Amino acid sequence: MSQQLAQVAEAMGAKGKGILAADESSGTIRKRFDGIGVESTEASRRDYREMLFRTTGALRDCISGVILFDETLRQSAADGTPLVQLISDAGAIPGIKIDKGAKDLAGAPGEKVTEGLDGLRERLAEYYELGARFTKWRAVIDIGRGGDRSIPGSYCIGANAHALARMAALSQEQGLVPIVEPEVLMDGDHGIDRCFEVTEATLKQVYMALFHQRVLLEGSVLKPNMVLSGKLCAEQAGVDEVAEKTVRCLKRAVPSAVPSIVFLSGGQSDLEATAHLNAMNAANDTPWNLSFSYGRALQAAPLKAWGGEVDNKPAAQAAFGHRARMNGLATHGRWSMELEQAAA
């Protein structure tokens, strides 16, 4: 089983490919559909995701895996083909979001801990039978506003690190590769150096917890935030600084045994997420595959182009395929604005 886990984890970050995060909860996708005037129903959610999964060439050439929500893992396409089979037939690996969301952390006002460990072993066994081959669990780490250094506290980081490690151990027990996702949010007014500090502290605690829970690092994938200025910060770091500090932070905290690091976009624009990933790969030789696991940064353009209309399907698929190709190039460090404009 160890060899199988390691092979899947390596493939998930393969050069030229990345992961499509299509695991929005019902509440989150309802908000996105509201933005384009489409009612969120089981059928409309199925139709939208099926459209992405059937995009000619995108999954085969640029997408290594797809993270699904529980509902989607169980759904079939309009012609009766299970969506999991559509993904597998295209050469991508199906995965499943397994956490139950971030909740208020008792005794730590303003901080969160992700729940979902109760009954997880049994859910994982079912997910494997349904075709999933990896899992994803997101922890949320906020940074205090106005220079408040009490958030995040070590208690919050430790609680989330422990939960991530427990889910990772349980996932591997069931033959599933865990995506460990400790997200330091970019919502605040902090500068890039404060983000570096919190990200380093978080990753170090996460890997200590993974060690204590006997997680096979070779059979796991890390999904971290990039080291960025907070969205409300007056001084925004440039692309090269983001790339340099993100890689430097990872080298301080992430063991080389981890095969793949797939970044979340975390509220960046489509082009920012691509440019930052490209700069990291163009300027650095790292012990890990550096790739992407984007949700909104892959889906915003196709969602807008689709608008819930069947006639818009080709335009939406073209938009999705374009973003997948651009990010695939970024994993090689070969993306450029000229290529964006040439393909537009």
Residue type, 287: P
Give me the catalytic one of 181, 183, 200, 272: 181
What are the distances in angstroms from CA 193 to CA 110, 196, 229, 244, 246?
22, 5, 8, 12, 10
Give me the catalytic one of 97, 112, 136, 223: 223
Give the span between the Cα atoms of 243 and 197, in whole angstroms: 15
Q: Is 223 part of the annotated catalytic residue set?
A: yes
For residue 105, which of 143, 55, 157 has the smallest C-alpha distance?
A: 157
Q: Is 218 part of the annotated catalytic residue set?
A: no
Contact 226, 242 (CB under 8 A): yes
Helix (H), strand (E), coil (C) string for the chain: CHHHHHHHHHHHCCCCCEEEEECCCHHHHHHHHHCCCCCCCHHHHHHHHHHHHCCCCHHHHHEEEEEECHHHHCCECCCCCEHHHHHHHCCCEEEEECCCCEEECCCCCCCEEECCCCCHHHHHHHHHHCCCCEEEEEEEECCCCCCCCCCCCHHHHHHHHHHHHHHHHHHHHCCCEEEEEEEECCCCCCCHHHHHHHHHHHHHHHHHHHHHCCCCHHHCEECCCCCCCCCCCCCCCCHHHHHHHHHHHHHHHCCCCCCEEEECCCCCCHHHHHHHHHHHHHHCCCCCEEEEEECHHHHHHHHHHHCCCHHHHHHHHHHHHHHHHHHHHHCCCCCCHHHHHHHC
Q: Which residues are catalytic?
A: 181, 223
